[in-house]
Chain A
Amino acid sequence: MGRCREYLFGYALLAPALILLAVFEFFPLFYGLYISLCSWRLGCAEFIGAENYVRAFRDPQMWQALLTTATYSLMSVPVQLGLGLFFAYLLFQKVRGRELFRLVFFLPYVTSTVASAAVWSYLYNPDRGLINTVLGILGLPQPRWLAEPTGVFALIARGFGAELPAWAQGPSLALVAVFVYTTWVFVGYDITVFLAGLGNIPSELYDAARVDGASGWALFRHITVPLLSPTTFFLSIITVIGTFKAFNHIYVMTMGGPGTATTTASIYIFRQLYEFNRYGYSAALSFILFSAILVLTILQNRFAGRRVIYG
């Protein structure tokens, strides 16, 4: 085969993938930017420049949605990573049936989000859900979970007969319930990644420290935590991005409600698109959300990245 024919053949092999990537990844990026600058009705009805963006920045609901997303993110990162590391550390001890435990913990992550979210919304059912039935038997209060827009701190305070000011209400119970579901889904993934990270720490370090008389906690604090920091950093970024993208389970469980209690940014964008057909506006919102993610990731890199130790 001649040189030229071989090149042609090579490009022909690349063509399907490259064309698909160009059409469905690269082009939409610019097309989306264009749409966001238009008043869009089946086409660019009117080129309105930055108007959609200006409108977005003046839209209190968008800020509310971003705040909800940030709250969701802020709850998820420490709890998911903490639980993930906790279970991974337990499993890393010589535990019998470790592989079976890990398989089971990983199960929620691999099964269909829509199906498991549907199941959970029945577990959360205020009147006849499993959770409230058990709470009822135990004589505990039965909150309304996904249907409760009130903040959790406010609910707790109310239990003691106190009322909290608006700023101290805390995240809505509905959002917390969604977050509990998300934790259930993702902890298995965090465990698996942490286990791989733990396996990469050389055991000689532990031996040496032990010879010097270090106890279990000191080993964990001064060897495991620092040497695991690249894994922790990776997971925290993945988790933040994941919470900002979260859509399927929230839509299935609450559709963003009650009211706007669980309307995260991605839900808000979706509703602008799906319910109101505001193509230009939702495209602009997408760019704003992406900028928010980008800034967060850069900040994370700046501040947390410095504390990462690459063994």
Chain B
Amino acid sequence: MGRSLELPAARPAEVRAFRLRPPGVRFVIYLVLVIGAFVSVLPFAYMVTSSLKSYGSVITNNLWPWWPFGNEPIQWQNYIEAVQHTGWDRQWGTWLMVRYFANSLIVSGVIVAGVLITSVLAAYALAQIDLPGRDFIFLLVLATLMVPGELVLVPKVVMMFNFGWYNTYLALTVPFTVSVFGIFLLRQHFLQVPRELFDAARIDGAGHLQYLLWILVPLSRPALVVIAVLNFIWAWDAFQWPLLVTRDPSMRVLAVGLQQFMVGEGGVNTHLLMAFATMMVAPIIVLYFVAQRAFTEGFLSSGIKK
């Protein structure tokens, strides 16, 4: 699938169009692009630099209080202070910030694993087995794409109370362990694998499960990466749902923790809030630069930021 989504290579026509432009125009194009890139990055630069400044330097907007323009040391201890300022989680006997991080990792991890498992299994059945009613089932699955999340928000919250899942990890994870996008993408992938491969595996004595795990899954790694990365981002970013279905500070994920820190303690300690935000964003940015192709493909083909 990836091919059609790849960014277009420069074509000869564009090269010629460009060479005809006078140098002044070329300069303006680069200038505009650089300004755009600067604006894109500025808030992140502000976040990271502020997280390493003293409180005084942050509120006076001293842009560079360090050597050679100032004599402030880099305030690494802000990160430690930010962790300490979140408070203590008695349940686990650790700082709440550690708990937020752990919660986000647990929730995102379970969601990614769950989505991968349910999608691989369902996609296989839809692609490889001639089930009666298969097309109808597939249509039904696709139809759920039309159910907007906002519409089912209230009933889902009520259901969490009914199930006794309120304020538990179950509420944070289980409803998100299925992804129509994942099923769809993997089904497409599986369908592209030549049927002969299956027949050959059959002759060698492999059953459905062996064929799926040993041959299809390794072949579909790019699609699996896209699904994993997207769902990780969505889970890491989730805010409204965790806010609605958890009550205790110890059940907060990073996003909720950050917002609560902002309206409480961090509202005055800007430098600490920025350290908190940096810690939350850092894993995503690292993941982005490592797997940026999966990001682009995923966001393009899934269409929507959840």
A residues sitting closer than 8 Å to B (CB atoms) are: 1, 6-7, 9-11, 13-14, 16-18, 20-21, 23-29, 31-32, 35-36, 40, 42, 87, 90-95, 98-99, 101-116, 118-123, 128, 130, 133, 184, 188-189, 192-193, 195-196, 198-200, 203, 206-207, 210, 216, 234, 238, 241-242, 245, 247-248, 251-252, 266, 269-270, 273-274, 279, 282-283, 286-287, 289-290, 293
Which residue of B has the minimal Cβ distance to A282? B154
Q: Which of B77-85, B88-96, B217-225, B231-239 faces chain A?
A: B231-239
Flag if B305 contacts A109 (CB, 8 Å).
Answer: yes
CB pair A17 B178 closer than 8 Å: yes
Residue among A95, A98, A133, A234 with max Cβ neighbours from chain B (10 Å):
A95
On chain B, the residues within 8 Å of A90 by CB distance are 29, 32-33
Min distance, Cβ B184 to any Cβ of chain A, angstroms = 11
Closest residue to A6 on the B side, CB-wise? B129
Q: How far is the CA of A67 from the CA of B274 in the complex (A)?
A: 34
Residues of A within 8 A of B102 (CB): none
Q: Are A184 and B125 in contact (CB under 8 A)?
A: no
A242 touches B40 (CB 8 A): no
Q: Which residues of B contact A23 (CB under 8 A)?
A: 159
- Chain B residue numbers with a CB within 8 Å of A13 are 121-122, 124-125, 129
Chain B interface (Cβ < 8 Å from any Cβ of A): 5, 7-15, 17-18, 21, 29-30, 32-33, 36-37, 39-41, 43-44, 46-47, 50, 59-61, 117-119, 121-122, 124-126, 129, 131-132, 137, 141, 144, 147-159, 161, 174-175, 177-178, 180, 183, 207-208, 233, 236-237, 239-240, 243-244, 254-255, 258-259, 262, 270, 273-274, 277, 280-281, 284-285, 288-289, 292, 295-296, 299-300, 303-305
Q: Smallest CB–CB gap between B49 and chain A, Å?
A: 10
| A–B pairs, 23, beta carbons within 8 Å | A9-B208, A10-B131, A16-B122, A18-B122, A26-B147, A28-B155, A29-B147, A40-B158, A93-B21, A101-B33, A105-B36, A105-B37, A114-B255, A121-B262, A123-B43, A184-B39, A184-B40, A199-B9, A207-B13, A241-B304, A283-B154, A286-B151, A290-B150
Instruction: Write the chain A residue with the least CB distance to B284.
Output: A111
In addition to A13-B124, A112-B255, A112-B284, 6 A-B residue pairs with Cβ atoms within 8 Å of each other are A13-B129, A20-B174, A28-B152, A92-B8, A93-B17, A116-B277
CB-based nearest A residue for B11: A203
Residue of A nearest to B299 (CB): A189
Instruction: Summarize B's interface: helix, strand, loop or mixed.
Output: helix
Contact B18 A94 (CB under 8 A): yes
Q: Which of A14, A35, A93, A104 contacts B154 (CB 8 A)?
A: A35
Chain B min CB distance to A3 (Å): 9
Q: Are B158 and A114 in contact (CB under 8 A)?
A: no
Considering the chains assembled together, what is the distance between the CA atoms of A24 and B296 in angstroms? 28
Q: B126 touching A133 by the CB < 8 A rule?
A: no
**Docked CA distance A188–B86 (Å):** 33
Min CB distance A239 to B, Å, is 11
Structural contact, A17 and B118, CB atoms closer than 8 A: yes
Inter-chain contacts of B157 with A (CB < 8 A): 273, 279
Contact B277 A118 (CB under 8 A): yes
- Whether A93 pairs with B14 at a CB distance below 8 angstroms is yes
Q: Which residues of B contact A270 (CB under 8 A)?
A: 240
By CB atoms of chain A within 10 A, which of B9, B157, B178, B280 has the most?
B178
Q: Which residue of B lies closest to A235 (CB)?
A: B303
Q: CB < 8 Å: which of B5, B183, B240 contacts A251? A: B240
Residue of A17, A90, A286 with highest tally of chain B CB at under 10 A: A17
Known: A93-B18, A115-B280, A119-B274. A35 touches B155 (CB 8 A): yes
Give the residue of B9, B131, B292 whose beta carbon is less than 8 angstroms from that of A7: B131
Shortest C-beta distance, B23 to chain A (Å), equals 14
Instruction: Contacts A118-B277, A274-B244 given; indicate if A198 touches B40 (C-beta within 8 A).
Output: no
**If the complex has contacts A94-B14, A206-B13, are A29 and B46 also in contact, measured as CB distance less than 8 A?**
no
